[in-house]
Structure 1
Amino acid sequence: MNIKNRILLCVIILQIAGFTALLLHYNSRASNSVLEFNRQQIMTAVTASVHHLDATAAQMERTALGLARSGEHHHQQHHRSNPAEVRTALQKLLVRTFQSFNQALGGGIWFEPYTIDPDARYFGPYAYHNGQDVMATWDLSDERYDYPSQPWYRLAIPADWPRDQQRNADLFWSPPYFDSAGTEALIMTVDALMYDNQQKLIGIATVDWAMEELRQQIRELHLTPGTRPFLLHQSSAQYLVGPQHDSALHTVVSNQQLLALKANDATELQEQNGEYLFAARSQTGLVMGVRIPHADLALAVQERLADGMTINIGIAVLFVSIMALVLEVLFRPFEQILQRLQSTVAYNREASQPSFRPLQYDAENEFTPIVNAFNTLVGQVDQFTRRLSDSNSKLQAEQQRAEELNATLESKVEERTRELEQKNAEANESLRKLKLTQQQLVNLEKHAALGEVVAGLAHEINTPLGISVTAVSALEDQLQEVAQLFRSNQLHKAEFDDFIQFAEEGVQITADNLRRAADLIARFKQVAVDQSSEQRREFELGDYLQSIVVSLRPNYKYRPIDVRVECPQRIFISGYPGAVAQIFTNLMMNSLTHAFDDSSSERGQIHIEAQQRDQLVEITFSDNGKGMDEHTLSHLFDPFFTTKRNQGGSGIGAYIIQDLVSHQLHGSLEVSSAPGQGTRFVIRFPLTRPAGDQ
């Protein structure tokens, strides 16, 4: 084996060793990144499913509260009517309520014994869906069913509970159970308490939720080919939908694991039997989750790595080919010199002496001095006879050498140009994929934040709407009663004055609460539209910041946290309000999640202050939370860095804030924090952005 082949073999061995080490390192890091990305997507899907489940449950609760308020009203007014009229009014109310509520199996208004009718122990109408119609029944108001002793009734009003004392809650959800009153369906019941004017318990209103449709939706959830969804209730830790027995209730999850779940947030539980286990708990105690086989996620990782392996092998083959070509170019002059020396030296037998001819070598390298010395010797031997010939030959050789060098140079330039174009194309493609992935992560974070705001808004407007429904229902009943008296010529002035006063109060209550709900919806609508559309418009900063805080109020209204917005002057901005909404939504959610500990006895403070400084606006966001250490602060804006990885944190919230401030608003961001000293963000950006500037 000659030296050229030995060098080529060594290069190939070293290249294979280095390539293998780099490939193993790349595969390890890429596998972890792809696996973590897929797991985050699965957790996001589980969280969204639980939010949808809670939205349906919230509608059940609002209906139950509305029925309870109506039942209280009829109890308050029943001394003016006989029990038969109350019976008719309640029956119509239940039918009217459930005609527009297809998601509920049915519901009823159940009074304590002898509350409405001193002669009737049981007084509880019930309405239920029967195909396309809603039917009302009083068949459950007898001693055979004895509804005050039913588990769902005792859940809200225990048998030994003093009726003159209030319960610690207004709503109670029962665990799933099979309805023994006729449907035999698996249902959950929400109970809403009813009180009289002296705050004495007088009964409950219920709404029944049929679980079969929900169970079917869970069974059809397929995030990967091997996905096995499940649904269970926290109090019993039993499956409603399970991977082994869909129709039976089978205990497989420990109470310790259930206690570790947080409401409305997906959590990855301990792996079992070669599967990933993701679950989230709803507000009603239902726990929804999926089991994902390791093989499903491993297959996704392998498919992603296979593309990279093909490219890497192509690069390795190209590198070996280039090295072989380089060695061929390097050793070609040596072989040429050897061949030419052999052809220019001959032995003259007649003269008994060797004869020499000039060596023709046109390249410029380390062999050139040897060739020149040899040619000089030949020239001295035959200087008189070959001087003119040698001069002419050298001139032609120099011209030929120049032409060959020019041709070689053009070929090398073209080759290097093609290589640079190929590398540039690969770099541009990688950059495009990176930007696409980044945009997808930002959109997921935006949608997750918007989903939390939507869920909070639904809960926030529940109170004014419930009060409005109650007031309108009461006014409707009072109007019917006055109309009957008027038609029968029995309406007296005093009764009409009472009706007018009652109507004025009802209309005022309804108007005030509807205006309050409309204001909440208007503020939320503007913020939500801005976050999703990213359109440019002019807006007033102080009012817009207040709208953002109002839309996020459900996330902190029951926590010891005060949020204060100060904008001493009206500041008008021509720009992108969606970016401002996303920035301060992420800042608020980061503070509520990371800055404040629910076990702390001190009251939390979040302060937002905006000021105009020449053509810039400066907004300071600060809290008095537990702050950050130097390590956390130094990595705050790194993508996927989070201190709550196992508690649902994505690690891109702060990164999105920095990206929006720098690129969308063309501004600057400063942050300062210390353990126990809170955190302070200072954001500055121009008041006006050029119309074509993106």
Structure 2
Amino acid sequence: MKKTSVSRKLLSQVLSVYFILTFIVTVGQIAVEYFNAKEHIEGELKTLQKTFSGSLTRAIWELNSQQAVTIAEGLLAIPMVEGIIVRDENGQTITELGKQIKSSEIEIHYGTEGASLEENNSGLFGYTFPLIFEFSGRATQVGDVTLISSSDVIISRIEVGLYVLILNAFIKTTFLLMLFLRSFRLMLSEPLRTISEQIESFDIERLQNSKIDYEYEDENEIKVLTDAYNDLIDRLDIYNNKLDAAQKELLEANHKLDEQNLLLEQEVAKKTANLSHALLDLENQKQELEQSRNELRDEIDIRRRAEELLINKQRELERSLRELKQAQGQLVESEKMASLGGLVAGIAHDVNTPVGIAVTASSFLNEQVETLKRQFNEKTLSPKHLDKFLLEAHESNHLISSNLKRASDLINSFKQVAVDQTSNAIRTIELKSYISDIIKSLQPNLKQSNHTFHIECPEHIHMRCPAGAISQIFTNLIMNSVIHGFENKEQGKVMIKIEERSGGMLKMVYEDNGKGVSNEVLAQLFDPFFTTRRESGGSGLGTHITYNLVKQTLGGTIKAYSELGQGLKFEIEIPVNTKID
């Protein structure tokens, strides 16, 4: 049998643990250096946002792609920047330079803050920040920029530190290895070898001559082991003497045991007869239990078949419920898209009017410029003609500016409301101005009437919520009042009152002075597909969508109150900050 050295095994385990710990610590230090360098580079990438975002934003806003490319090339010249991606507000790539993370995989939504891109399999990482352009008091995202660096840049920065760490670990490991080898040989291997040789000469017949003679003076574990072995030899000698005496006593006990065995055999015969009778009784009871078990098995089979039938019915009901929910979701989306389509058509018609006026004024101004140029060339230009031209030019310029501003205001109001209605993205809104923008976007549907809208809302209320939900709620409520409440009524009034409550809640009261509804209609007001204008093409989903947006999307409550001829009133309570599920 192959011998295994305890000292060698112990030394190998100690050194293995030390090597592993040294390796882990070294790798940990390298990782710390790596991530510190990476964090520093990411900080430098974020610093570049403040330096270049303004010029890039201006270039993209002015559609100057060549200037954007030139700025991107300048950024790429920075050593830590190994790649750059510039995209417009639609996610279309303007330029891609250097090493790349696939731009098709970059899909980020943010406000004014950027976002770090995690390191991928190719060792690339980066930082993406939006390009925000402020115009007419509004902040608009015109695109985004992704600055890309790589692990090669990090390694080049920490290369010298890595060599120092590895050399330090190698020197310490070599020194400790030599120290352990010498100490184990002097303090463990040599004493154990001496003791082993003496133990191998053990003779059971001469126990006192088999004791160990330990030559070392140290009072250590080996000395304790030697003393214990010698004590064992002494005790073994004593036990041998006692064993001889015990053998004599055992012979006498065996003789008495034979006599007891005869008595036990007679007793066993009597017990066996009694046991046979008991076995017959158990056999009868076993047959009765088997009969009961068969009856119970039949009953279980009947119940199992009934359970399978119930499970099949339940699955059919669940499938029908899923199909019903899917159909309902499609109808809700169709209703939202129809509402957005009407909004687009109305805005397009209203924008055409000021744009047409601006085009007409611009054409007239061009004709007057040509006339002035001709008179100047023919030297027939008089002060009277010049004064007339200046007056007409001033009026035309004023007409163009005012109508273009009107068109811009319409487009800006429509743009954010339309985007919100097709998105569930959470963002911060100033509530009063946002509701005003919603009403502006609905003006094409309201301009044929003289309805008035009054908003009572503190200026400081800011909500962080899915803005599309707020837009859809007030759009549905206003159009419900216009179509149903103000039917055959030229001058309707709508009051929107908003106040803050404790616990971060808002109370919204929407009230019109329309014709109201009966108690029967009020009880079914939020039911899906319930409408009083089925013959006019109503879908019955407007108030149902509003109810779901308040309850599920915003986590609030909504109640309706009405009487015939007394108008319709909605009370809504929602949190200021919507909880993200």
TM-score of the pair, normalised by structure 1? 0.42
Q: Which one has a larger percent helix, Structure 1 or Structure 2?
A: 2
- Which has the greater radius of gyration? 2
Q: Which has the higher contact order (CA 8 A, sep 6+)?
A: 1
